[in-house]
A = this chain, B = another copy of it.
């Protein structure tokens, strides 16, 4: 159910209404949808909630038909803008995230951060807790890597996105990260979703390899139902019968997610294709499909990268891509 409030409603009334909702046995999630204030009440009993219709400031009570009680366009019609300091993700903005798959050393992350910062990139990616298929593969620099990220964050004024994989890594990473990333393999690690939902950090949620659009939105719902509404969705390729690409980047998901949800949608052509030469055309295609941004793996020495070298761009290659996607973003406006 959703309570639609008068535009002039006061913060006190909203608080009061949430309290009343809670007394009835449900949970209210206030949201500002354009100029209108609303309170979403997932899975609420219509009869019980109806009594609130008479409260001063309440305009209407409507039913939300989708299972995405907080993530759907029904719940909020206007695009959500996730603000990371002075960087806005969503709406009309084109967000660019770049950096190496993994933080490998102080010097490695510093050199790539400097180059990306010079080009105008605002958000740096870099994994320190790495979920790898093999227990014997490089598992990330962990807290040491966070320290290096903290350094470049300070030095270049970059925002940092990094992956968390459990409560331990979450505890440490949230000290440094501006955006917490949930990787594809953990998209249905519901306990982890609840944990990041309890933080006040934006969360980038990557689509699982066999997750439907519906599954992805339900996982976003897990984060949001804990009170954290700053969720960014990320299409990064699904697993299909085609083996010529590492994954099948499913760009159809972009316009579809934008239709179904108010959350920003980012595309990751690096993991989505796994092939360096395909990263630029698919980044362009993602933006043309309407993505709010791209996340691209960039490494100063891809041949010697500890992970994902095959799909990493050199800074100069990334710069070409960067120019091109900006031109496309203008062309489709």
11 examples of A-B residue contacts, CB within 8 angstroms: A67-B134, A208-B210, A210-B238, A251-B282, A251-B285, A252-B282, A255-B282, A281-B290, A282-B289, A324-B331, A328-B328
Asked if B332 contacts A244 (CB within 8 A), the reply is no
Asked if B222 contacts A135 (CB within 8 A), the reply is yes
Residues in A13-58 with C-beta less than 8 Å from chain B: 42-43
Asked if A215 contacts B284 (CB within 8 A), the reply is no
Asked if B252 contacts A256 (CB within 8 A), the reply is no
Asked if B189 contacts A212 (CB within 8 A), the reply is no
Q: Mark A257-289, 1 if CB is under 8 A from B, else 0.
A: 001000000000000110101100110111111
User: What CA separation (Å) do A221 and B240 show in the bound complex?
Assistant: 24
User: What CA separation (Å) do A277 and B260 show in the bound complex?
Assistant: 12
Query: Which residues of B have CB within 8 Å of A194?
Result: 135
Known: A135-B190, A209-B210, A332-B328. A273 touches B252 (CB 8 A): yes
Known: A165-B191, A284-B289. A252 touches B238 (CB 8 A): no
Which residue numbers of A lie inside 8 Å of B, CB to CB?
A: 42-43, 67, 69, 131-136, 165-169, 185-186, 188-192, 194, 208-210, 212-215, 218, 221-222, 225, 238-245, 248-256, 259, 272-273, 275, 277-278, 281-282, 284-290, 324, 327-328, 330-332
User: What CA separation (Å) do A136 and B272 show in the bound complex?
Assistant: 31
Name A275's closest neighbour in chain B (CB-CB). B256
Asked if B278 contacts A288 (CB within 8 A), the reply is no
Asked if B42 contacts A136 (CB within 8 A), the reply is yes
Query: Which residues of B have CB within 8 Å of A287?
Result: 288
The count of identical subunits is 4
Query: Which residues of B have CB within 8 Å of A253?
Result: 242
Name A248's closest neighbour in chain B (CB-CB). B250
User: What CA separation (Å) do A245 and B235 show in the bound complex?
Assistant: 15
Known contacts A189-B192, A254-B281, then 15 further A-B pairs from the complex at CB < 8 Å, ordered by chain A residue = A133-B188, A134-B221, A136-B221, A169-B191, A189-B189, A213-B242, A213-B244, A240-B248, A245-B252, A249-B252, A252-B272, A252-B273, A252-B282, A255-B278, A327-B331
In order of increasing CB-CB distance, the 8 nearest A-B pairs are: A210-B210, A288-B288, A285-B289, A185-B188, A166-B191, A255-B281, A284-B288, A285-B285
User: What CA separation (Å) do A91 and B225 show in the bound complex?
Assistant: 46
